[in-house]
Amino acid sequence: MNAPRLIYEKRGNQAHILFDNPAAHNALTSQMWLDLRDACRDIAADRDIRVAIFRGVGGKAFISGTDISKFADYESGAQGVEYERGIDECLGALDAVPCATIAVVEGWAVGGGINISSGCDFRIATPDARFGSPLGRTIGNCLSALSVARIGGAVGVQRAKRMILLGEMITAQEMLEAGFLLRIVERDALDAEADALAVRAAENAPITTRATKEMIRRMAYGALPDVEDLIAEVYGSADFRRGVADFLARTKQVPAWTGN
């Protein structure tokens, strides 16, 4: 079995990024996050790349979240602030990719999976795909302002609230109707659909794509508030430590939150 990894390949004018950790439903390790950042920066620097495609390995998940084992060592809210800054750096590199980006979703897109797919320009998914970010029912952490803006802007504020405040997993059909998904595609047609979409996106004038994407990025993220005090409060809480311990112990119940 391969160690968890991110696979980055260039094929002509296309870049392909594969999240390869199928034993953990493609949960992202710290190194995979950094490799995603570096791949996105490389794509941004290569004017020959016209489209980038993101996909999970194994057919059961796009990305199921993040490897949270390191959270067991967190003792202060400052560590949580630093962690969210790191995630912002990695996903900020995705936001800044100047070519068209496509997420091909099979199965679960949870936590980091909904964040990364929200950062892509287009999303296609299999009928069984499910989307969510059940932080309040698992480890009890929170997202940065940039992540909230990215997800809320892509799925809509009310769906984002359902994902986070109620822990709902939202179906592919609802996400299609909401405009989050471009298409739902049967599994046996997914490769052909992804290829056709990539070819069409690559045919667009690259300077038009680049300028339009940068305009949208500036409008969406140009005036975000400072929320690091809130992040520190959450990651420094007893509830967060309890949630992490219960999750790593594979407890199936929602932790007994105290609000402290």
pLDDT tens column, 209-229: 999 999 999 999 999 999 999
CATH number of 5-187: 3.90.226.10
Whole-model pTM: value is 0.96
Distances (CA, A) of 220 to 1, 113, 119, 152, 200: 41, 20, 12, 11, 25
Phi and psi based region of residue 76 (left: phi greater than 0; alpha: psi -120 to 50; beta: remaining)? beta
The tens digit of pLDDT for each residue in 48-61 reads 999 999 999 999 99
Considering Cα of 152, then 32, then 184, then 211, what sign does the dihedral take? positive
The strands making up 170-171's β-sheet, listed across from edge to edge, are 61-63, 108-110, 130-132, 170-171
- The answer to whether 120 touches 102, Cβ cutoff 8 Å, is yes
pLDDT tens for residues 117-153? 999 999 999 999 999 999 999 999 999 999 999 999 9
* Average pLDDT taken over every residue of the chain: 97
Domain locations in the chain?
Answer: 5-187
